[in-house]
Chains A and B, each alone.
Chain A
Amino acid sequence: MQETISFTPQLAASPITGILWLIPTVPIVASGVIVLLKQPKRSTAAALAIGSLGFSLLLALVAFAHVVGAWMHGVAARETVNFTWIQVGTAHVDLGWVLDPLSAVMLVMVALVGLLIFIYSIGYMAHDENFTRFFCFMSLFAGAMLGVAIANSLLLLFMCWELVGLTSYLLIGFWYQKPAAAAAAKKAFLTTRVGDIFFLLGIVWLFAQTGTLLFYNNGGGSMEPLALGGLLAQPAALGLTAAGAIGLLIFAGAAGKSGQLPLHVWLPDAMEGPTPVSALIHAATMVAAGVYLIARVYPLMAAGALTGGTTPALTVVTWVGASTAVFAALIAVAQNDIKRILAYSTISQLGYMMAGLGMGGVAVGMFHLITHAFFKALLFLGAGSVIHGCHEEQDVRRMGGLRADMPLTFATYAIGMLALCGFPLLFSGFWSKDGILEAAEHWSMAKGPFYMLVFGALLTAFYMTRQVGYVFFGHNRGSKDAHESPAVMTLPLVVLAFFAMALGLIGTPAWPWFRAFLDGRAAGFDWHGLAEPGLLALMGTSTVVVFLGLGLGWRLYGDRSPKPKEPDVLEAAAPLPWGWLRDRLYVDELYGVTVIAFYGWWARVADWLDRRVWGGAVSGVAWAFGLWAQLNRFLDNNVVDGSFDKGCDELASGGGLLARVQTGRVQTYLRLLALAVLALALMLIWSSRA
């Protein structure tokens, strides 16, 4: 395979980019090694997984430092290594990887959160009989996800993307003997695949139009002006340009992976997997891959936008994101499973990220992605600690008062919860969410998304307060002997809690480091950034909204202990809408009677066509032939003169000699056939001599 290494002119070749491929490969190799291990060697499996991911984290940090170093010198760092994967005709299919601020940030986040969750899993999965297989799959997942992060080719990204989907499937179904887990895994894979087939169409279209799937290739990549110009000049259907249509197809893939409407239905069910899986895959990393994908192809999504304007693709991203944010937050209010509440919250937050991308650009969406990864991983691991401490209880109504039994879990969970709610100033979620709200406020197309997202923020604060009230306050209504988790589980919580607060520092308006870094601009420190009147008003609004949500939640659910059979306060107040929300607004049911029913019905139609129509036509022909034969026999027997038969008898006796050869044994036939072929071959050789 010929390898062409290309670098952006601004930057000299760096060794770290050359070995960037090791970051995803090492965990994948580790998972392969674990497969070949014998079942009992638990410590080896965990050590391999953690060691390999630790190594990846180290490399990721080096890469990150390298990019930051270049950026501090005022260089827009983007280094790529590309190579040809398949040569078809005179064209080729290229793959490659890229090191730039976007991939560096994602690498560090995935490796760091992943490593913390791996460590936590040692404690959480300690008693599982398939401990080694767990680390095998997790390691494979981590490798594939890191592959998504560094891909410089839409095809390589898609390949890692599918591998990520496979590991998600395997890990949701980790307890495969539970029918619910088996069903949830299948549902997750298929729902995301609905998005993926559109994604694949987008890929082949982009490939056909631009001749490359590389993002960046010294001006020849598909995300570079030359290719984008061509795509903009090419009209597609419905008034879209090719760029817009391809962007929407790619977004369909992103919507599947990131649980956006209407493909969100798999994510709550995915909670059937072990809790560390929910934290890593279905909260922090994989579900954010869709957001990352849109950030990666942002030049395509935004192609053709005038200054301050938007594109059809980005408008769709915005509206889908904002609708998802509100829709899922509403449902989260009426859920009672501790993990399902968080799952709907994740869907809602992914909607925020998408809306942020749509209205504010890469940095706005990505900042929320990063902060969310930490505080949502924290919340899930905290929920895991609670479930662990309560002996596998997941219903928040049967918990209560745990703040006394599990102080460390409570403290860290509270930090995660406040970060998610966007509690002012101290927590990262406040800054990243405000970035999105600010972008929404200034969006030129419509004000709808802004109001939706503000309403979503109110709901978020409310449902999280409800959850925390149920779980940690009041008195214990379930297991009496709840206990704090071991240090191997609480330590990652503390580290994540630290990041849930500290990460806010790099994205405040006073020092918008993160944004400047991703945009390739210099970041200055300026207190006045905080004091802009418009911004202050916005921060005030969001603060009021958050406090409103917290206060309402506390008033209804704080420090009270409902009896086991007692309906929820809101349920008692408004049973009908509560029922709708509790039943997830019937989306699953709708799909059940439409898509799923059609699938089964059409399968039966296909089978019936086969057996009756096509098969029937063949049988009909056979039957007609049979009838014709019968008719002939009838004519023979009754019409043709009997003396003919006599002549035939004579013939038949002569045929007896021949009949002796026809012994009816296949072996004999075959031997004769072999002899005949031999004779033919001899004749051939003889004739070719002549």
Chain B
Amino acid sequence: MDPIRQFTVEPIVKLHPFGIDVSFTNASLFMAIVVATICLLMFVGTSRRALVPGRLQSATEMSYEFIASTVRMTSGTAGMEFFPLIFTIFMFVLFCNVLRLFPYAFSVTSQIFVTASMAAGVILLVIGIGVYRHGFRFLKTFVPSGVTPILLPFIVLVEIISFATRPVSLSVRLFANMLAGDIVLKVMAGFVAVLLGAGVVAVIAPLPFIADIAMLAFEVLQAILQAYVFAILTCVYLNDAIHPGH
């Protein structure tokens, strides 16, 4: 009944080589399931390569074209070299978000460590690409043109802080949405159980049940939307690294 207990990470196979905890946990298990599901869908979906695509093939093609057009729209054709990364991130987050809605599934994206490490990876890549492509000119992204010299140090500080908040906001947005959704679903389901065991009041037990179903539908939308937002913001940040400052 505890709506928080679903988030506990429990080791399945304990591994402690050199004193480092690398146990295979339920989180790792579900990440592996997610990756296996994506691989299976992609391999099976692209195996037949029919001219008139079947259901699975058109699903894979649609996801490909959807992300490709998103990347092209936000970061231009130059951004297409990062397409494999964006596609991987999108599919991983999407399947984590959707598969967590199944009963007994573990919610991977409700772990701040998972989202934070993904966001940190994205931001480190942005900095790496920016410095590699543009060298010191990348630092000019923090110095907007056309600002009076008196205000400039202040603006530069604010810009740097604004940049530093990006990985945090990127990870917290996904994490908070998924966490809140999971908790709401479990609390609503808890209401049903409590009401059923409360004698006469059991008559209104279907109400939270219906609400839970509506929430579940909303969570499906939220799962897709948050994966999309994560992918598109990755695109936008990468675009800043490809074309720094204007």
A and B associate in one complex = no
List residues of B whose CB falls within 8 A of some A CB: none
List residues of A whose CB falls within 8 A of some B CB: none
